[in-house]
Every structure is written in C-alpha cells, then in structure tokens.
Amino acid sequence: MVRFVLSITDMFRIFTYILIGFVLLFPYQPAWAEDAASVDPEIQLCDLINQARVNPLAMAASVGLNPDQVLADLPGLREILTQGLPPLNYNAKLRESARLHTGDMLENGYYGYISPDGSTPADRIRNAGYVADITGESLGVLGFFNFISPSEAVSRIFENLYRDELNPDRTESRYILSPDLTDVGIGFGEGTLSISENSYNAYLVTCDFATTAVSRLESELLQMINQARSNPLKVAAALGMNTYKIWADLPELHDILENGIPPLSFNGILYEAAQAHARDMLKQDYYSDVSLDGRNVYDRLFEKGYDPAIAAEARRLLATTDFVSPEEGCKKHFRQLLEQELNPGCENRIILNSDLKEAGVSLVSFVPEMWSVAEEGISYSDFYTLMMVIDFGAGAESLPTELQGIVYNDQNQNSLLDFGEGILNIPINISNDNLVLSVFTDSSGSFAVNAEKGVYDINLSSDNAVYAQEVVLEQNRFVEFQISDFLPAD
C-alpha cells in the first residue's frame, strides 16, 4: 500500500481525478483521446506535450478551454501561444530519471518533487548522466475505482497538466510551453493510493524537462571518436590517410585496426571535469595536462566525484587571427587526434585504448572581442580560440552493457558521420524476446541504451520506411545507419 504525502492543492487534484475515474463520465472527450489506443503511455504523453508546443491554442481548445480567453489571460505568452514552439526531444537519460522517481514514489509512498533522501529533480537528472543547463519537473496522478486504461489515464493526466500550464494564476515555472527547454523524459507507473483510510488504484507520471549543457558539436565529436574506435582504417581512409602504410607501420595494432574496439560511453562527470580544465587553461594562460596548482587528470576527476581505475586526457588548441568556424576547428582537432593515434611513434594511445570505457568531450571557444588581456589576463584573447579537452576514464566499478548508435545523412558520401549530418528525433525500437526499448536520436543523431547481453533487433522508423538490423550485444556495441539505408531516394 502506498501512502502519499500531499499538499492541499495536490489533495484537491487527486480527489478530482478519483471522482472522474469513479464516475467514468466527463462533459467532453478530447479530440486526440480516441487515437491513443495501443500506444506506449510515455510516448503518448510526449506526443501530446509536443502537440501542445507546436500548436498551443489548438490543444487548449481540445481540452475544453477557450483560445480567445487563454490569449486574454496570458498576454505575456501571446507570441508562444500564436506561433508555437519546436517539439521537445525525447531523451533516454531524462526518461531514466523520471522512471526512477515514479518508481521511488510508488515504492516509498510519497508524492512530491523532493525524494526522501533530499534529492531534487536537478540531482536526479544529473545522477542519470544528463548534464543539464536548465531543468524542470512536472508530476501527475490519476486515482480511480473502476478500471481506466493507461491510454485514457495519460489523456486525463495531460489534460490536467496543460490546464495548469495555462492557468493565469499559476506561480510555478511553465515547462510544456517553455522556449528554454529542449528535452523531455517521462516515467509512467501504477500502484495503490491510500487517502483517509480509502485505497484507490492510481497512475503516476513524472515528466523531467531539461536543456543540455553539452553542445551538438561535442556530442558529434564523441560519436566520431566512437566511429574511429569501431573501424579505425575506414575513418583513416576517409580522412585521406595512407591505410597501407598504417597497417605496415603498426603490426601490434592489427587486431584493433581490423576488428575495432567497443565504443566509449558518455559520462557527465568526465564532461564537467574536461570543461573546467579547458576554461581554467584559457583563463590562466597555460596549456598542459597538469593544472597550475599541480593537479593532474586523476586529481581533477576524483575531486568531481569520479574514482578512476584508469584515466587519460586529450587536448587540442586552435588559435587564429582569422575566424574559423567551430565545425572546421573540430575537424582539425579530430584529424590531429587520429593522426597522433596512428603514428608509429605514439607512446600513449587514448582513442584506441580498449581499457578506457567512458569519455566527456568539452569545447570552449572565445573570440577576440569578448575578452581583454587587462581584465582577464588571457594571452589567447587576441585570437579566435577553440580549446578542446577530452577526459577519458574507466571507473573502479563495472558498467552496464550499452548499445549505442548514430543515424545520419551522409551528405558528402564518405560513409562517415560528419559535423551537421546527425538526424534528430528518429524513433528507435530495440527488442528481443524479453523486452522492448524505445528511444529517439538526439541532436547529434546518436542514441544509447543500457541492455543485457543478448541478440537484439533494432528498428528505425520514419514517415517513409522502416529499417531493421540484428545485433549481438556481448560488450558495448556501436552501430550506425546512413539515412540512405532506410529512406527512399526522392
């Protein structure tokens, strides 16, 4: 039995939900409710949130509100209400944090944003591995006597969330209609709700919203590194390197060059440590793996809360008097990294080191107009500067097996991901006889899920086609799909 700790407002809402569920009658049926059958509840709610963002007033009418009255009540939101917002990206790490919170509330008998251990939504999102610049969380609950399907529950919970969003008396932040948020993850669960000696069946929802601090370029660069780990010679050839010479010069790497090594998983602590070191170097005018106070990469990671069994750091600096786009700068950095790795004289390989399991890529750029030597003491300030720091590591504890992939439009037809080619929000279904996992690609075209070892079918769907691939997951696995593989030509 679950006992919820509720505010007066929450109590009123829950009793309202219970009354609706018990009577099983309502003055009107939202237009989208009839089409929601057989849809994953979490995906269904994400779709409704995005429909509301794209056309806020049409959704307001669907839940029984008068669009003209909404505009009159919320003059500060007029532009958003009339012009709409881009849809949110469905993020696997936010889904994980939302699911864990929903499960925790059901298991430990409470209803609220603060967990019994004191953790906040921002804490839970960070613990799930999402590096956030902005976070937010919405909760919903529906209690009922008679059975209500998960699909109907989602419809009614969303209706309440959206009505609250458009309430002119609302004092909390708005998340569904926030232009500052880009990602969402949803956790949907069911359990037993106990209020005043009465017990009710209940559906519970957590919606975690956020905007990542990790840029598209940083994410793409990590995926390009993973492509190089997966197939070093293919990537080297695409960059114009002499693969015959590489093979002849590096007999000790023949196994890696031929078969590749598992991909690196993104780690938020490694990202934060890399970013802090990049900024510190630029602000204090030095370029070294050792900070001015004597700390090395192990020290910096440990201070951030990461206990490395092994760690390494890669750095690159581009400083020019003429503007170079971040994309072009990153291309130079990536090529230099791989050239160093495939140099016979390299004594400490990082990208092609299978002992390293995780990484965080940070790019920090400055333009001359933004800084002055007098104010900041930065000798880089006279240049267009792009500093890249990548922290790699493997923790003392083993990591869950991860299936990673990228979906991209191979615009230059080199059979590799390049900057700007990743495709956002492609639905990915990963399944076998025991489970089904759903996720969407992020802004870099990448996706990642934790999964037990086994054989999986990966299905990518779009408006035009479905593409399937079978993979065997024995260790971290990297798969890639070019858009031409599953979208018909125009």
pLDDT tens column, 425-474: 888 888 888 878 888 888 889 998 888 888 999 988 755 666 677 888 88
- Among 185-189, 379-383, 408-412, the minimum mean pLDDT is found in 379-383
Q: Which domains does the chain have, with CATH numbers?
A: 41-212 (3.40.33.10), 261-395 (3.40.33.10), 402-485 (2.60.40.1120)
DSSP 337-386: HHHHHT-TT-SS-STT-TT--EEEEEEEEE-GGG--HHHH--GGGGSEEE
Check residue 379 and give its pLDDT.
Answer: 54
> Percent helix, strand, coil in the chain (nearest 5)?
40, 25, 35
Residue reference for tokens 């967990």: 115
Check residue 192 and give its pLDDT.
Answer: 80
Q: Report the C-alpha gap between 131 and 364 in whole angstroms.
A: 16
pLDDT tens column, 217-235: 899 999 999 999 999 999 9
Q: Tell me what the mean pLDDT of segment 475-489 comes to.
A: 71
Highest mean pLDDT among 7-21, 275-289, 313-327, 347-361: 347-361
Look at residue 1 and tell me whether its pLDDT is greater than 50.
Answer: no
Q: Which residues pair with 456 in a beta bridge?
A: 471
How big is the chain, counted in residues?
490
Check residue 487 and give its pLDDT.
Answer: 45
pLDDT tens column, 61-97: 999 999 999 999 999 999 999 999 999 988 888 999 9
Q: Which residues pair with 265 in a beta bridge?
A: 358
- Among 40-44, 367-371, 385-389, the minimum mean pLDDT is found in 367-371
Check residue 198 and give its pLDDT.
Answer: 66
Check residue 143 and give its pLDDT.
Answer: 85
Both tokens of residue 371? 């800084």
Check residue 369 and give its pLDDT.
Answer: 53
Check residue 392 and give its pLDDT.
Answer: 98
pLDDT tens column, 127-138: 888 888 899 999
